[in-house]
Every structure is written in C-alpha cells, then in structure tokens.
Amino acid sequence: MLDGNESFFSNVAPNSIALNVSMVAASPIASRPVAQDARLTDSHGRVIHDLRVSVTDRCNYKCVYCRTGEVGAQYPELEIGEYLRLIRLFVDLGITKVRLTGGEPLLRHGLIDLVRELTGLRTVTGEPLDIAITTNGHLLDTLAAPLKAAGLNRVTVSMDAVDAPTFERITRIAGSFATVLGGIRAARAAGLTPLKINCVLLRGFNDEQVEGFAHFARAEDVVVRFIEFMPLEEGRLWTPEIVVPLREIVERIGRVLPLVELAPREPSETARRYGFADGRGEIGIIAPVTQAFCGACSRLRLTSDGKIRTCLFSQVEHDLYGRLRSGASDEELREYIFRTVQSKEARHHIGEPGFLKPSRSMVHIGG
C-alpha cells in the first residue's frame, strides 16, 4: 500500500499557475421582494433545476488524484433539519433534482432520514423530486436497501479501475475493490437503477482500464461514465496532458466493442451517450475539459457548511447558512438564493492563461 502521490505522478509536472483563493461574497446582495412564482434563471438565460448538496466533506477513501491524504475534513456540517430547510427553499424556486454528495455522503449520520424527508417535497409543478446520491460505494452493501426504502431513486458509484490492485492503489484502502463491487450489486438488487458508475481517467495512471470498463459495463449491467480530470484536486497534479479526452475514449472502446452515439435525453445532460452497437448496454463521457457544456449548465451547489457555489470553479462563495444562523426568514433566504443565481458564471476557464484554481477542492465542494 502506498502512502503518497509521488510514485504515481512522478512524470507529471506540477500546475504552476494554480492558486488557492478563498473568498466569501462580502457585500450582501440587494434585497427586493421576489415574486411567489419566481424560478431560478441566471443572467445568461439558463434555467437552474439541479441542486447538489454536500452533507459532509469527510471521506473514508484517499483517492490519490483527489486528496493528498494529509488533509482531513475542513468544513463544518449542518444539522439534517437545516439542510432540509434550505433544500425546501431551492425546490420552491424550481429545483427538481437533488443529488446528495460529499465527501462521502454515506458516512453522514441522518442521511436516510434526510432522503425520507426529501421524498415528501414536491416540485413547483407538484411532482416528486428526483433524488440521487453520488458515493464511493464502500458502505452501500448495507445502506442500499434502507436508502431505497426511504425513497432514494438512483445512485452513482465512483470507481476508477476494474481490477483490484489498481483500484486499491487509487483509493489507498485495502480490500476496497471487493467491498465496492458488493455495494454495486446490493444497489442493483435494491432497485437503485439505472446504476451509473463514474470513472475519472488519468493518462499514464489508470487509462489502460478503458477497455476493461466497457466489458464491466455489460457484465454488471451498469452505465459507465468516464469523466475528464479537472483541476480540482487538493494537490497539484493537473496538466492538460494528464486529461484523457472524449475522442480517445470513444475510439479505443470502439475498436473492441463498436459504439453508436445516442441522442441526449435532455438538453442539460452533461454526458455524451454511446450505445454498444449490438444494443447491449451503454457508456457515457463527461468532457468538461475538451468539450465544455457550461452553456447548458443547470446546476447549483450547496457545500456541507451551507455556502452556495454557482460553479465548480467559482472564486466566490455565497453564505446562505450564515444568513439562516443570523435569523433570516425563509422569504429573505429565498430572495438571497434568487439574487445569487444571477451571478452564476458564464463558463469555466480550465486550461486558459490565468486560470485560477477554485477556493476549494472537489472533496470539499461536493462532486
């Protein structure tokens, strides 16, 4: 078992332009009444209907491309009832999908209660919410069935290799491959389907897993989605060269199992979908670096300590929880959310000169 990143990334140059800037939006956003039927639409005309909520920034894995292994949890967690109060306000403003994440959300005490309470909320058109969780799967074996019973719709499991030694070099947890595989199977048995597996590929590190993942998708009846590596790690690993681009993944899988491109299910879908030509299974590719989809972004994030982030790469956070703590009414919080969305960034600037690394890394934002 290795205890540092160096040996994996010895040939990767540090990102010399990355900076850590931590800012919370200082001046209060002007408060004006927001109409009862107001919906979240940003100043670029994008409708916001997807909320990601981090319920902890603790994690039981130390994936080498995500965490240095030297830093633990950094931010406080809210009470479950406080997340619920805030989520309800977002739902009143048009959110239809809520994804619980972290850190590792399955570590969070009270998660099942939160899911159960969320199932009682209704969207502005009276529908149940679409409730999903992103997890490393380590605790799914025992939690899949209770989460399903509480009303969870779907789960996405992160998995960066299909062979046990590579997987465990990444997570730095012995026995994790068998545990996660057990969790995936438990999730499928519980009916948390369609089951998605998210895989981050890094050149020269785990990119040889691509073809194996295609076979895995079919054998385990899961949709594998490859995600391009973004500069959101705790360390300094990211370079353009380490990113395995969409085009290469499609070409390599197509050589062993022919693919056909599938139409997006909705305009804001982040993954490009490909079906296997024989009709058995599909994969997806999320390409924020080489084929950015910011123009169709429909997302907002709420961090474990209750800050709104309007983009993964925001330099500024908006302290919603601070307002709650100082006694703001639901109406005032609703107005604050509404105004904050107006400042959502047009796009990220990955790979451009002067790019600034965001103030938090992925594990502390909520992936």
134 binds ligand SAM per the rule CB under 6 A: yes
Residue showing the smallest CB distance to ligand SAM in the complex: 367
Between 94 and 103, whose beta carbon lies closer to ligand SAM? 103
Q: Residue from 170, 230, 243, 253 that binds ligand SAM (CB under 6 A)?
A: 230
Between strands 223-228 and 307-309, the pairing is unpaired
Q: With contacts defined by CB under 6 A, how many residues of the chain interact with ligand SAM? A: 19
Residue 68: CA atoms inside 13 Å, Cβ hemisphere, count?
Answer: 9
Binding range to ligand SAM, per CB under 6 A, among 17-25, 178-186, 225-233, 253-261 = 225-233
By CB under 6 A, is residue 183 in contact with ligand SAM? no
Distance between CA atoms of 251 and 158, rounded to whole angstroms? 23
Which residue lies nearer to ligand SAM by CB, 183 or 367? 367
Q: Residue 232 interacts with ligand SAM (CB under 6 A)? A: yes
Angle, to 10 degrees, between the axis of helix 140-150 and the axis of helix 111-119? Answer: 30
Whether the CB-CB separation of 111 and 58 falls below 8 Å is answered with: no
Nearer to ligand SAM, 136 or 314 (CB): 136
Q: Judge contact between 96 and 359, C-beta under 8 A.
A: no
CB of 128 closer than 8 Å to CB of 122: yes
- Indicate the residue among 158 and 298 with the shorter CB distance to ligand SAM: 158
| Residue of the chain from 42, 57, 92, 104 that contacts ligand SAM (CB under 6 A) | 104
Q: How far is the CB of 113 from ligand SAM (least distance, A)?
A: 19
- CA-based Rg of the chain, rounded to a whole angstrom? 20
Structure tokens that stand for 189 in this block: 């048995």
**Helices marked H in the chain:** 80-92, 111-119, 140-150, 164-171, 176-190, 210-219, 246-256, 320-325, 330-342, 362-365
End-to-end alpha carbon distance in the chain? 26
Contact pick of 5, 15, 56, 101 for ligand SAM (by CB under 6 A): 101
- Closest to ligand SAM by CB, 341 vs 350, is 350
Indicate whether 300 belongs to the interface with ligand SAM (CB under 6 A). no
Binding mask 49-68 for ligand SAM (x = CB under 6 A): ----------x------x--
If binding is defined by CB under 6 A, does position 281 make contact with ligand SAM? no
Choose which of 57, 233, 319, 335 interacts with ligand SAM (CB under 6 A). Answer: 233
Cβ neighbors of 194 (< 8 A, separation 6 or more) are 154, 222, 223
Can you list the alpha helix ranges (DSSP code H) found in 121-160? 140-150
For ligand SAM, the binding residues (CB under 6 A) are: 59, 66, 101-102, 104, 134-136, 158, 198, 200, 227, 229-230, 232-233, 362-363, 367
